[in-house]
Structure 1
Amino acid sequence: MTGLDTAREGGATSNTITGGIFFHAVVQGRDISVQLPPAITPALSGLPAPASAFTGRDQQVERLLADLAPATGGAGTGGRRTVLVSAVSGLAGIGKTELAVQTATRALGEPGWFPGGVLFVDLFGYDPGRSLSPERALEGLLRALAVPGEHIPDGLEDRQRLYRSVLAAYAREGRRILVIVDNASTAGQAGPLLPTDGATAALVTSRHTLDGLDARLHDLDTLDTAASLAVLDRALRHARGDDDTRFTDEAEAATVIAGLCAGLPLALRIASAVLAASPGRPASDLAAALQAEHGRLDKLARPDRAVRAAFDLSYEHLTPGQARLFRLLPLNPGPDLATESAAHLADTGPDRAAELLQQLADAHLIEPGSSWGRWRMHDLVRLYADERGRTHAVPDRRDGARARLFTHYQDSARAADAHLDTLPGPRPRGFPDRAAALHWLDAEHPNLTATAIAAPALGHPSTTVSLAFSLARFLGLRRSFVDAITLATSALAICRGLGDRHGEGQALNNLGNALGEVRRFEEAIEIHTRATAVYHQLGDRHRESRALNNLGNALGEARRFEEAIRAHTDAATVFRELGDRHGEGQALNNLGVTLQQVRRFEEAVHAHTHAGAIYRDLGDRHLEGTALLNLGGALVQVQRFEEAVDTQTRAAGVCREFGDRHLEGTALNNLGSALQRVRRFEEAIDAHTQAITIYRELDSRHGEGQALGNLGAALMLVGRFEEAVTAHTRAATVFRELGDRHSEGKERSKLGIALRQVRRFGEAISAHAGAATLFRELGDRHAEETALEAWAVTHNERWLRQG
């Protein structure tokens, strides 16, 4: 049975599940085992769309495809060997990314080549402000592979080992994945992202020849004149239709333009876009303009000048309003920008901002982002725009633009966070409902975290503190605990530096909650203890009690139950004295979970019942659901089985109503256990099976292990012993891979009983012996003795049957 307790601090809600540890995809150790979800959607949608004006690269595409094709035949048979890593290098704007995208699109269309899809990551290797470290890139790739944030380790080695193990697991299951590592600056940046399983393939692009990757190297050169002319003509026709034949009508001018662009695809596309933006402009006029810029265009073939000349030409055709917004866009620290955010930068209305952004996109100076209404800049364009912006800092009122953007992020994040509060009441303007607030937070998550991290160095430390506090609840809901730890740590340092003791206490509480979620319980205990001390020194009994309640959660997870009970009891008492009924309900709910751990079930029933009544009176339906879930577990222990069935059914309904799939799975799993007690075995089997399905969808491996174990018990009760053996075997495997030795021992004991029923006595004896060994190492004498008794019974039964 599992329980859920909740604590709130500074607008953030922390949920901690006890009586079971809910992992998802993996757990790490020296040796890693990975169980994959039955189906995921890899980051295929992250692959940029292939360009229509792609030409002159047929040979390069075919060579890369030959590298990527699956191996044929075996060693010594003369079959084709797969090249596992291919590295494409060339100067800026040469079309490395486009070549990789076009090749990947072709490869994904080949049956059986990459059934697992493609992972695409842009390392922004040449942009100092956005360059991704291998650690950060691995975090994003692991999330794309369905590994939840709380199970992504901190260190490079651990992340690298986990990432490669997950890729290998997909390959073993026939879901080979193509990895594209774009825009790497060094072998050290790209190397940790490359697979090593001998099956998964990778494409790397860089402006440098990365000969330290043990890769098949492909040097990409400029396009010849024929291909350059084809790019110009195709891009123009794509923009204006097949009737626009200006480049073919003025072949000499087109040849001049192609020569001045020096065969650089990015420069060619921008030149074509300039002509497309002016339907009446002859190609010869564009050629003359390029000739007039002779001082710069002479350097077009130089790697550090090639794109600048094309950008200069495009930039000089911008209107003052377009140019100003273009120069301001790099002030956003994140990867892309919403139209609304751009409006705040430019200090204009959303409609005018959308018009300017579309015009910049038409000029190929920006491009559509991850969804409609979002925009991003190529890293070279971003650097160019930032240089221009610095030279126009005073007339553009650059500092004011940044302040407006940061204020917009702070105000919107604060309003969105208010909509995540489950207590009824008025909400600030900005979002119509909770769903809209969550949608905005999901879209802006990368920008908000990047802004919070960058703000102190830009002279806006208060932005970091504000965002860290406003995002705490969202990051917990989305289980982005690495970001939560980073932001809370930054806010803590800033508040200390400013002497803001209240802010320090809130940052400590948020940090402790995040550490607890990633199972760093001893650190969480230390952090919450410090938060409690800060508020005690300030004489703030209310916040001190919140910190104490959170401390109790961490103590309970560390199995320091008596200390946890004292902490929750003291917190509940103070909340009651202060008239904070919501806080009292949280403390009582947490207290009940801990009381169940020490088998004080009647007291737990009372605590959960009282907490549920408080939540119901206050109209907090979501937390009422958690109280019902925990109450149902306690009711089973005091043999009030019919009440437990009703309570868990209601809890599942509330969780479903709020879209909380994880807790719905927990409620269904607990419901199945209660149904077993009233001999409604088929319903119990159905409930456990539904829970397993939910846990697999969410990749919650620990939840799946618990549900499998409960399913096995239900199957035993209806005599489906072989199926029970399968369920308990899988459960034991899950817990072993997760490192939950106590749960593994319990499942081994149950497995032994199931094996005895099908007269597989040798395996049963081994299962009981293994369980006894685990319990002995864990110091659980009662469980060890029970396992040994089962071992003896099985041993005697085998002896009698053989005798």
Structure 2
Amino acid sequence: MGTNSNSISGGTFHGPVLQAGSVHLPKPQPAPFGLPARSVFVGRERQLAKLAEALGADGELVAVSALAGLGGVGKTALAVEAAYRARELFPGGILFIDLRGYDEARLTADQALDTLLHALGETPPPGLPAKQQRYRSVLAALPAPLLLIADNASTADQITPLLPGDPRHRVLVTSRHTLADRTLAPRHLTLDTLTEAESVALLTELAGPDPAHPELAELCGHLPLALRITAALLTDRTPTELVADLADTRERLTELDHGPDFAVRAAFDLSHRRLTPEEARLFALLPHAPGQDIALPAATALADRTPRGTARLLRGLTRAHLLQHSHGRYRLHDLVRLYAADCPTTEAAAARARVTDYYLDTAAAIRTAQQDPTAPGLTGWRATQWLREELDTLREVWTATTDGTSPDPGVVGATFQVALVNLALIAGFTVRYVLAGQREPDKIDHVLRYLDTAAPGPSDLPEDPYATALTEATEHARTLCHLAAELPAHPHPELTSVALPRLHHLLALCRRLGETGLTGEILLTLGDLRAQLGHFPQATADLTAAVTAFESTGDPDNAARARALLAQLPD
């Protein structure tokens, strides 16, 4: 029998050596990477920084971040851009799944897990619990962190079954709704439209530079989807032609259409179809209300529902990002307003009549309460605040209800009153800018533009004491604005010679008209100014009178401000 012998040479070996005819080693599995192609992207640096912070944070729980916003606002593009920038944080891979939450056939958790397990190289077992177990086990066995992007979710129950159990991994969700349930408590980031500069930059990247881009961006409401459609439309139209086409509000949504999957109206349809019948009813009525925004009391009149019920509907529309909410007021995006105006309703005329009556009745009640303190109605600083907030809407109501006849004296008077209130406050704030050395040209220019249009109507208005006061107040406020723009430093001698007399005139106007709350505002400004100039006895008198005025109108916040300034004065 022969002998076999082998010899291995060519190096030094420490330990046993295995020799075989052939050795089969398993191929290393590449990390899954399912991100869509990167698209043209501009701006959003603040939001990208917040996402980078969230994706890089350590913790004991799986970090979930949720991007929410109006359809077409660019949630998916932002999520994809953030993921590309954070690739190095996720050597375990990046998974992307479109849950189609707003389509008629949205992805179920079962279907989503099938897709994700296949992406991870696994065969899905039968049954949802078994799929969840396999999915979480595979993720736990990964050698490095992974990022899951769950795009276009409509409800929290689409997301919860997809959450990894391993806290190394991260989840980024996009939705048109603000999502949460007992398990899902994401870090929310609400996405707004682009700034004007970002909108113009996006159009320039997509279609090349053109002087018409700022106007096109404005007509698109700075909505990224509309801007991208506009860039596509510019392939067969000049910018000037497209501006003319989009300027027609009746046809704007029809023009912003480049196919069934690339149209603004279609994007809004997906959100609208998920509204409840009551939410859809109010949504269709909102564009028929006067003014650009609306507060709860007016919305209650518009909806003809209880305040609590109306507030619930407004919250639902806000969570769906079809309505914007800020400082107690609700506003429709310009393109959403056009969409809502096309929604069928048989109640538009009746709803507008109800909300118009609300504005007329409230303005008339304020005027009555001024003449008769025992009469019901808003009084003091609450009346002033309501008038200030509703100025633009009151002007629209007043114009719409005249129809060539005499304007309603209550609305005219209330409109003049709020104009005077705003002017007096502007004068005071302008002086405070000078005192603080914070001369801001943009703000002062904005104020001057307002002063040019402050008078709310034609010259043949019915006589009203506020009309005369308005003329005087406008002149005083304009002088103070120019002073604030021109003074090189503070305190300045001209501040004493010009600002003090003007403020005294405004104070006399307010007292003559019985505007106690506004009197307090002017006294507060005078006291602050005199304190800065070292006129301490007069400052003490003004601020003490301001406290009294604010207390008599039930305005504790401003009373506290006046007391705080008093406390800083030397004995």
When you count helix as a share of all residues, which structure comes out higher?
1
Q: TM-score range by the shorter chain?
A: 0.3 to 0.5
Q: Give the alignment's TM-score, normalised by structure 1.
A: 0.31
Q: Give the alignment's TM-score, normalised by structure 2.
A: 0.41
**Larger RCO, structure (CA 8 Å, separation 6 or more):** 1
Structure number with greater Rg is 2
